[in-house]
Amino acid sequence: MTVTVKVQVISIIEMFTLRIILVIACLLVLITDTWAISQQSQVLLYNVGYGGIVGAIGAVMNRNESSWYRAFVKGLIQGSFGGLICYEGKRMAYEINKNRELLYGWPSKIVHATGASIIENAAANNYLWESWSVHFGFVRFETKPATFPLRVKFLPFAFGGFLMATACGRLKVDKTFQLGQPYFRKSTFELPEAGGYSFGNQIIVNEDVTNVYEYIAHEYIHNYQYREGISLNKMFTHIHQEFSNYEIYNRLSEHIYIDTAFMAMAYHMEDQHSYAWKYKNYFELEAKYCSTLRNVPIPWR
């Protein structure tokens, strides 16, 4: 099969599978939204469910000789566990708001990166701790806990977000390293009035608002959602291995990691609402709940 045909086949398979995943993710959101359960349970169920679904389907797609149901169960358990860790990492972002201290971003980020890595390992049908990765702005650091080789990869979509953030705000280097994510202070006129914004792995905040730390934690959760979407990449590990004979592909994939903003698509597939009803969008509700650990007022119930 020629490279061109392979690329076309991969594109078709990927888009078809990704649509299924996005529809399942939206159904999960719809179900958890419809059930009369607490917001804490809703957020927990979504995170565990998302990790489990991505892990299970990915493990089946990447299975070797094992039967599909063994791979499914392994991926489901492993991915659900990763989702649970992601949930804990998101809740830890609340400490930024509670203590009004940016340094609490790091432990939250490390825990969430661990959960996201477990989901990625599950989706690739790998061992639980086979690899670990963390994102800092438009850079992805990858390692294998068994041998600790360090790979540094460029994230093109996150870099696009970085450029957008640069156009809308001013990078604060000291706060960036305190928080663990590129931190921009909003300029006065480029963006519409709001407390904060998230562009991929970048956070922009309006420092004039009184509850600025809540907005920082809120946007951090949106960064995490973006990271979780990228875990879908690992579902197609078996297809990408087909290209391992091509040196140029190997060279590029050593230094570039395609971070398609799948969660941004899912965000926009959710209903868009007026500002008063914005938390009807699950991803907004999750960010608000995890940054405050208080129930979000929901006027539609």
Whole-number Å distance between alpha carbons of 277 and 274? 5
Tell me which residue has tokens 């599950």.
122
DSSP string, 215-241: HHHHHHHHHHHHHHHHGGGGGGHHHHH
Between 153 and 222, whose beta carbon lies closer to Zn ion?
Answer: 222
- The nearest distance, CB 183 to Zn ion, in angstroms, is 16
- The nearest distance, CB 218 to Zn ion, in angstroms, is 6
User: What CA–CA distances, in Å, run from 77 to 109, 114, 123, 246, 257?
Assistant: 23, 16, 11, 34, 26
> What part of residues 224-283 is at the interface with Zn ion (CB under 5 A)?
none
Q: Is the CB of residue 22 less than 8 Å from the CB of residue 266? A: yes
Between 236 and 267, whose beta carbon lies closer to Zn ion?
Answer: 267
By CB under 5 A, the count of residues binding Zn ion is 2
- The nearest distance, CB 284 to Zn ion, in angstroms, is 5
Does 287 bind Zn ion (CB under 5 A)? Our answer is: yes
- The nearest distance, CB 225 to Zn ion, in angstroms, is 9
- The nearest distance, CB 290 to Zn ion, in angstroms, is 11
- The nearest distance, CB 145 to Zn ion, in angstroms, is 33
Between 214 and 259, whose beta carbon lies closer to Zn ion?
Answer: 214
Between 235 and 287, whose beta carbon lies closer to Zn ion?
Answer: 287
Q: Which residue is nearest to Zn ion (CB)?
A: 287
Tell me which residue has tokens 């992601």.
86
With CA atoms as reference, report the closest residue to 161 among 251, 235, 228, 227.
227
Between 17 and 211, whose beta carbon lies closer to Zn ion?
Answer: 211
Segment contacting Zn ion by CB under 5 A, of 77-85, 98-106, 130-138, 287-295: 287-295
Whole-number Å distance between alpha carbons of 159 and 140? 11
Q: Is the CB of residue 196 less than 8 Å from the CB of residue 205? A: yes
Q: Which two tokens stand for residue 212?
A: 């600025």
Task: Categorise residue 148: left if φ over 0, alpha if ψ from -120 to 50, beta otherwise.
Answer: left
With CA atoms as reference, report the closest residue to 230 among 198, 253, 260, 270.
260
Between 164 and 258, whose beta carbon lies closer to Zn ion?
Answer: 164
Q: Which residues bind Zn ion (CB under 5 A)?
A: 284, 287
